[in-house]
Amino acid sequence: MIKRICWSFLLAGLLLLPLAATAQDEEAEDVVTRHENPPDTAAFEIVTFAEGFSTPLLATHAGDGSGRVFVVEQSGRIWIVDADGQRLDAPFIDLSHEVSQDVTVRYSERGLLGLAFHPQYAENGLFYVNYTDQVAGTTRIVEYSVSADDPDSADLASARDILAISQPYTNHNGGYMAFGHDGYLYISVGDGGAGNDPLAVGQDPADLLGTIIRIDVDNQDDDSAYAVPPDNPYIENDALAPEVWAWGLRNVWRFSFDTATGDLYLADVGQSAREEVNFQPADSAGGENYGWPAYEGSLRHIGPEPMTDVVLPVIEYDHSVGCSITGGYVYRGEAIPALDGYYLFSDWCSGRLWAGYRTSEDVWRFDQIANLPVQVSSFGQDEAGEVYIIGYNTGEILRFAPAD
């Protein structure tokens, strides 16, 4: 069954999707949440911020006021880049002895895939990594601490295992993590791989595969290194996985929270027909079923009709313009006011850069605003809300800058 919160039609590659109003309609007037037109592309340019990385996958910040940018390499190293784009001589942490090294010899979706700093990192020095290990490709979420005597180095001996999830195939490992405004850690797991969900986990919220999970790393349940938040949607259902926050997802390679509103954007990589962005408002109680594999985007795909309502994507595109979506961020920086409130995202195959936005009539649109000269593996965001573009094949970190 489909939850008909929107209708859609495809016109010249642009998908327009009206949405029901949400609590975000009542955002303060100074927070931009609606646009009627695409951003002015003459207001910005894309420049190189830092370079010299090997298979970079992510750029983020520690939220500690230092202005540092942390760059994740798939093979296991995390580097610090200062505000001038200069990389420090030694990595913040080197986990290459723990992380799958497939990427050093061939294309791989395994490796060091995620990094998230604790919201109180400035006080407690804790951060979390998501990687597939060298033994069996198992997804591992591990907590580390910064060194007591060097803010630019992590303490390898501080490792605390939080969670391990078996991965039956080498692809669709998800990997992204982020703390929400509620202080809980959200993790994309992926459906476990191969194609067309052979394990039938997409429509099974009893399994952690094919979901976004939500956990409390500051507390512990019995026999666990974490606690399940008391308001998770399935915590009272013994037949389902209590960690599950949302499900029916193929491989959310990247998701992000709007730092101004708390809304969640989930970019789910498609099978062979559609790439999609799903939207979860900040006041959601969780439990959304996004349809995979019964639906790929808004298209009926395989298997029986879901037993619960399906929430359709707000943005989708077919494979005439790309083949693997790379989710980004809602721009909330100050350097380029023309981009404020636009969701920036791209495609691994085509390098098209899009700006997604919602109009005052609750119609979602997206417009191409650039062709990128790199293979976009990810985006990044610094403490000031400025957005970066990760060039996987070139080892570059690009950023948006005001046009000269």
How many domains in the chain? 1
Range list of β-strands (E), 241-324:
244-247, 252-257, 264-268, 274-280, 295-296, 299-300, 310-311, 315-318
The bridge status of strand 69-73 relative to strand 56-60 is: antiparallel
Give the DSSP H or E segment for 2. Answer: strand 2-3
As given in the structure block, the two tokens for residue 30 are: 């100074």
pTM of the model: 0.93
Give, for all 404 residues of the chain, the pLDDT tens digit: 443 333 232 333 444 344 333 444 444 568 999 999 999 999 999 999 999 999 999 999 999 999 999 999 999 999 999 999 999 999 999 999 999 999 999 999 999 999 999 999 999 999 999 999 999 999 999 999 999 999 999 999 999 999 999 999 999 999 999 999 999 999 999 999 999 999 999 999 999 999 999 999 999 999 899 999 999 999 999 999 999 999 999 999 999 999 999 999 999 999 999 999 999 999 999 999 999 999 999 999 999 999 899 999 999 999 999 999 999 999 999 999 999 999 999 999 999 999 999 999 999 999 999 999 999 999 999 999 999 999 999 999 999 999 98
Contact present, 192 and 249 (Cβ < 8 Å): no
Contact present, 340 and 357 (Cβ < 8 Å): no
| Structural domain that includes position 235 | 2-402
Contact present, 196 and 184 (Cβ < 8 Å): no
d(CA 182, CA 167): 28
d(CA 295, CA 196): 11
Contact present, 125 and 153 (Cβ < 8 Å): no
d(CA 21, CA 145): 42
Provide the sign of the torsion angle of the four alpha carbons 21, 186, 174, 106, taken in this order: positive
Choose among 182, 361, 378: nearest CA to 280.
182
As given in the structure block, the two tokens for residue 59 are: 């750029």
Provide the sign of the torsion angle of the four alpha carbons 170, 96, 75, 384, taken in this order: positive
Calculate the alpha carbon distances from 299 to 225, 293, 294, 340 in Å.
Answer: 39, 10, 9, 31
d(CA 1, CA 324): 26
As given in the structure block, the two tokens for residue 316 are: 């989708």
CATH of the domain at 158: 2.120.10.30
Choose among 250, 227, 242, 252: nearest CA to 287.
242
